Chain A
Amino acid sequence: MSGPSLMDSLFQRTLEDLIKGLRQQLIGEQAFISKALEEIRKEIKSTDLSTKSTALLKLCYLSNLHFHDMSFAAFHALEVLSSPRFSHKKIGYHAISLSFHDSTPVLLLITNHLRKDLTSTNEFEVSLSLQCLSRIANADLARDLTPEVFTLLSSNKLYVRKRAVAVVLRVFEKYPDSVRVCFKRLVENLENYDPQILSAVVGVFSELACKDPRSYLPLAPEFYKILVDSKSNWISIKVLKIFAKLAPLEPRLANRVVEPICDLMRKTGAKSLLFECVRTVVTSFSEYESAVRLAVEKIREFLVDEDPNLKYLGLHALSIVASKHLWVVSENKEVVIKSLSDPDPNIKIESLRLVMAMVSEHNVAEISKILVNYALKSDPLFCNEILGSILSTCSRNVYEIIVDFDWYVSLLGEMSRIPHCQMGEEIENQFIDIGLRVKDVRPELVRVARDLLIDPALLGNSFLHRVLSAAAWVSGEYVEFSRNPLEFMEALLQPRTSLLPPSIMAIYIQSAFKVLVFCLHTCFVRGGSTAGVSASASYESFDDLSVENGADSTVAHGQTCTSAPITNESIVNLLKLVELALSPLLGSHDVEVQERARNLLGFVDLIKLEALNSSGQEENDSERKGVEATKIIRLVHDAFSKELGPVSLTAQGKVPVPDGLTLNENLGDLETICGDIELPSSNTFSFGYPSEEKDVSSFSNLQIKEDSGQSNESTSLLAEHRKRHGLYYLPSGKSEVISNDYPPANDPALLGDNNDNASDLVKLTAESLVPKRKPNHSKPRPVVVKLDEVDEKPVAVKQLESRDDSLSGAVRDILFGSEDILPTSSRSNLPNSNRKGKKKQHMITQVESKENVVDDGNSSSRRRKDHSHGKERRHRKKNAEERNETDRKEKESSSNHPRRHKSRQRAEEPLKVPPQTSVIPDFLL
């Protein structure tokens, strides 16, 4: 029996051997580890405790650093725990605190071990078990060991008492009833002057106050004393954290505390404490002008410091101030803008946030211009960070800050041409959104869309495909604003569209359909001869626009094309172009593309048969047929010209269900009938972009001729396109070679004027930050269609989330959850502790309700009355507090207001409820 175990222990590898072996790596790490694990599994079953504990130690090492599961050893760890030798016990506790968690099955068995060690005379054993408890305690353990922890809270060994205090936090969290037992002793420790103990107690309270600050208001005098007397920076920082939570709840407390904090800020040499003071002031004392000024002074020192850490924190503090005192940011704008080109991406992002905080209706154009310039120069990651924040800021609250939409739309176009731009999806959404909402901007939108579509280089950038799909949609939907629809046709059908994914390809084809119908309509329905006039007339009406926008080469290029009116001849060419470009797509593997190509080709065939054959010869016949063709064109044109408006998210819900329609009828019967029919798997179909959904069913009866030659004419097509739009292709010499390579969409080198340095930018923003009306803003803001409540809400919520993002996320859960977990301040059956009284009462009600006391609400309140009988003052206070409490709860449940607001409400409550002001205990020493 003892033989093998002796052999094991003699030849067992120690942890050191294991580590050395791992480092030598003779047989590869994985192989070595799995061999070692095998040994450990054997050794850990040994009856010899030192063999067992060594095995356990090795396992801990592998688990901690090499992610190997050690849950199988849970029971063995418990066995090691029972060893009389301290060194074994230590390993056992180490293993347990590393590997145990709430669902470890043997957790139940540990209670007695812990109890034994908690009551041990060896302070190190006590400390080990306390440490372990702080890591693994669950509700059961916390409940069973509360008495032991309570005893240790007043232990005369500082070493033990310190740890007992620290463990209380976990015990409270897991087993709220323990508050009744331990809270008083915990508070007593607050009055202890030993820095070790104090540090631990203050740590516990700063965590507790984080979760439910209101309950700890009565302890304010104690905290105040610590704040004033403390010599340890660690403790001061924690106390400041507590006051940051308490001050907003009680204005008189804030009045009292603000001076000592400012003193501390002036005197301290430690940057960490200084920063904590600054942060406390800017978060919780922002109404105190002088304190804020002092804090801002300190922030400025941080900002100009060489140390990137201080700079980052300075910017961070600024962003906290920004929400309430925007002037602070504009006062420091030079530093902020300079930080945009800091070598540290984190600092850059922080300063970007600040710049965005400064954006307003008056300076949005200037700031965006500067930022876009920065984006051109910076690395892809930060570039997209910039673009993203411009997009989200400008679109906030349904484009609240945008006055000049023409400018914004061209900015969107410009942004999508930035080489690193990956915000295609957002730009796409905004293009369509603005198109739908803002009528007046559509001509400009069409111009921007044209510039994007016509440039073949953009098709090569897959990040831009989403933008292009929006541009294509715009060109089809608002083609009537176009100066030259024929040009759109060419752009939409250009050979390089084959680079697009099928879903966007389908949008291109559909848009081409719309443009074609528009051309035919202008040509035939309005009369062939007048078409040219109308086209050029519409061109003229936008002439002033193009001049104003500093028409560059593209517009000049457009001019040459537009001068050609839509004539019969151009229509014939157009139809040819459509056939040429789309016939290869009839064989497309994508259902959507194929379908739409067929629709369009069918339509073209129909028109050709009806109208164009006749153009020359038989006059009578042509007229008759022409009438039919006109009919078709008019029909289709009408179908397309119905305007799409923005649709509210909840619109579907508002439609009443018609009488005869039963939506919820059981469809189970259907399943039995269709059970054996195999449904085609849905992912073999690809659907177009949802906003592109158009009713095409009316054309379904159009015949589609299958005779279209699948000739591979794309090369000749490409050459032709190149000849026409030579501007966008590489300069000659290469032009004979047909290649798929294009210069990058937007070469920064070509863009010239973006090498302005930081000082210029500072100057620019400095100007732009001066709130003044720009002359070109004299144009009134166009109407932006809003769908009341629906639009406002999501935007507002989004804004909120981004503002106090991660901080509240975690805290909010706890805050709501902890109402029951951590009972609030209380009334007690301990006669002389009136400050935690109510908390305990709360507990009592809970206990009673657990014991199924009938009518628990009444009985407890009766008892409460009994207790507080003759203590009028306290009673009144309690009632007021309770009212307050329920008030607050109601508010919390009824509204999803931002937490910030709520805390402000709470802070104001004492003022709003007159009887309460009289009963608030005097915290003020």
Chain B
Amino acid sequence: MGIRFILMVNKQGQTRLAQYYEWLTLEERRALEGEIVRKCLARNEQQCSFVEHRNYKIVYRRYASLFFLVGVDNDENELAILEFIHLLVETMDRHFGNVCELDIMFHLEKAHFMLEEMVMNGSIVETSKANILSPIQLMDKAS
């Protein structure tokens, strides 16, 4: 299914957003996030952005204090996922204006909504910033 999950985690290892494309129980999620955070946050800037974990791969990228981690199948294109993360950040940047951790915390639902615009069923469906944001802006206006 391509993408299995998308996590945003801050420097302290606290999850700020979690989106799963397969059903996991809370306990499984807690264990998974713990393992991944331990593995990825220990790495430095000089190291590559791909980590093998269980039977899939994690592609991650750090923006300021926030880590974006995407769990993907092994045959997914790692560089494309990096581009996807960048696109996500740019999109949020455009919407929130210089996005920061607090924006995501206080607008978690909106962040989820953006992700839903971009990814369905674990595959990327939309890659144009304008297309992603237009329904969100419309809804903002409506409510």
Residue of A nearest to B76 (CB): A241
Q: A275-B77, A312-B48, A809-B55 are in contact. Are A101 and B23 (CB under 8 A)?
A: yes
CB neighbours (8 Å) of A15 from chain B are 106
B-contact bits for A56-87, CB 8 A (1 contact / 0 none): 01001101110111000000000000000011
Whole-angstrom distance between the Cβ of A110 and the nearest chain B Cβ: 16
CB neighbours (8 Å) of B108 from chain A are 60-61, 64-65
Provide the bound-state CA to CA distance between A19 and B143, in Å: 22
Secondary structure type dominating chain B contacts: mixed
Whole-angstrom distance between the Cβ of B20 and the nearest chain A Cβ: 9
State whether A347 touches B48 (Cβ < 8 A).
yes
CB neighbours (8 Å) of A199 from chain B are 124-127
Q: Quick one: which of A196, A237, A345 contacts B80, CB cutoff 8 A?
A: A237
CB neighbours (8 Å) of B75 from chain A are 210, 241, 807
CB neighbours (8 Å) of B139 from chain A are 86, 90, 124
Say yes or no for A844: interface residue by CB 8 A criterion: no
Say yes or no for A391: interface residue by CB 8 A criterion: no
Q: Which 7 pairs show the lowest CB-CB distances between chains A and B? A: A806-B55, A272-B79, A166-B120, A344-B47, A308-B48, A203-B123, A101-B23
State whether B46 touches A313 (Cβ < 8 A).
no
Say yes or no for B90: interface residue by CB 8 A criterion: no
Residues of B80-123 at the interface with A, using a CB-CB cut-off of 8 Å, are 80, 82-83, 105-106, 108-109, 112-113, 116, 120-121, 123
CB neighbours (8 Å) of A575 from chain B are none
Whole-angstrom distance between the Cβ of A646 and the nearest chain B Cβ: 34
Say yes or no for A638: interface residue by CB 8 A criterion: no
Q: A65-B15, A86-B142, A124-B138 are in contact. Are A309 and B48 (CB under 8 A)?
A: yes
Q: How large is the interface on B (under 10, 10 to 19, 20 to 34, 35 or more residues)?
A: 35 or more
Residue of B nearest to A232 (CB): B127
Query: Which of A's residues lie within 8 Å of B, judged by CB?
Result: 15-16, 19, 57, 60-61, 63-65, 67-69, 86-87, 90-91, 94, 97, 101-102, 124, 127, 131, 134-135, 159, 162-163, 166-167, 169-170, 196, 199-200, 203-204, 206-207, 210, 232-234, 237, 241, 271-272, 275-276, 279, 308-309, 311-313, 343-347, 805-807, 809-810
State whether B49 touches A309 (Cβ < 8 A).
yes
Residue of B nearest to A169 (CB): B121
State whether B18 touches A163 (Cβ < 8 A).
no
Residue of A nearest to B56 (CB): A806
Secondary structure type dominating chain A contacts: helix
Provide the bound-state CA to CA distance between A885 and B61, in Å: 45
Whole-angstrom distance between the Cβ of A204 and the nearest chain B Cβ: 7
Say yes or no for B26: interface residue by CB 8 A criterion: yes
Whole-angstrom distance between the Cβ of B75 and the nearest chain A Cβ: 7
Q: Quick one: which of B2, B55, B74, B116 contacts A131, CB cutoff 8 A?
A: B116
Q: Quick one: which of A135, A196, A311, A810 contacts B55, CB cutoff 8 A?
A: A810
Q: A64-B17, A102-B23, A196-B126 are in contact. Are A810 and B48 (CB under 8 A)?
A: no
State whether B125 touches A203 (Cβ < 8 A).
yes
Provide the bound-state CA to CA distance between A861 and B29, in Å: 49
Q: A101-B23, A162-B125 are in contact. Are A134 and B77 (CB under 8 A)?
A: no
State whether A86 touches B143 (Cβ < 8 A).
yes
Q: A91-B109, A809-B55 are in contact. Are A309 and B46 (CB under 8 A)?
A: no
CB neighbours (8 Å) of B2 from chain A are 203, 207
State whether B79 touches A167 (Cβ < 8 A).
no
Provide the bound-state CA to CA distance between A19 and B2, in Å: 32
Say yes or no for B38: interface residue by CB 8 A criterion: no
State whether B79 touches A313 (Cβ < 8 A).
yes
Say yes or no for B129: interface residue by CB 8 A criterion: no
Residue of B nearest to A124 (CB): B135
Whole-angstrom distance between the Cβ of A132 and the nearest chain B Cβ: 9
Whole-angstrom distance between the Cβ of B74 and the nearest chain A Cβ: 5
18 A–B contact pairs at CB < 8 A?
A65-B15, A69-B26, A86-B139, A90-B139, A124-B135, A124-B139, A127-B135, A134-B121, A169-B121, A169-B123, A199-B126, A206-B123, A207-B121, A308-B48, A312-B50, A313-B79, A344-B48, A807-B74
Provide the bound-state CA to CA distance between A68 and B108, in Å: 16
CB neighbours (8 Å) of B127 from chain A are 199, 232, 234
Residue of A nearest to B116 (CB): A131
Provide the bound-state CA to CA distance between A824 and B37, in Å: 42
Provide the bound-state CA to CA distance between A61 and B106, in Å: 10
Whole-angstrom distance between the Cβ of A554 and the nearest chain B Cβ: 41
CB neighbours (8 Å) of A276 from chain B are 77, 80
Provide the bound-state CA to CA distance between A60 and B110, in Å: 13
CB neighbours (8 Å) of B135 from chain A are 124, 127, 159
Additional pairs, 4, CB under 8 Å, beyond known A86-B143, A309-B78 = A200-B125, A309-B49, A313-B50, A809-B55
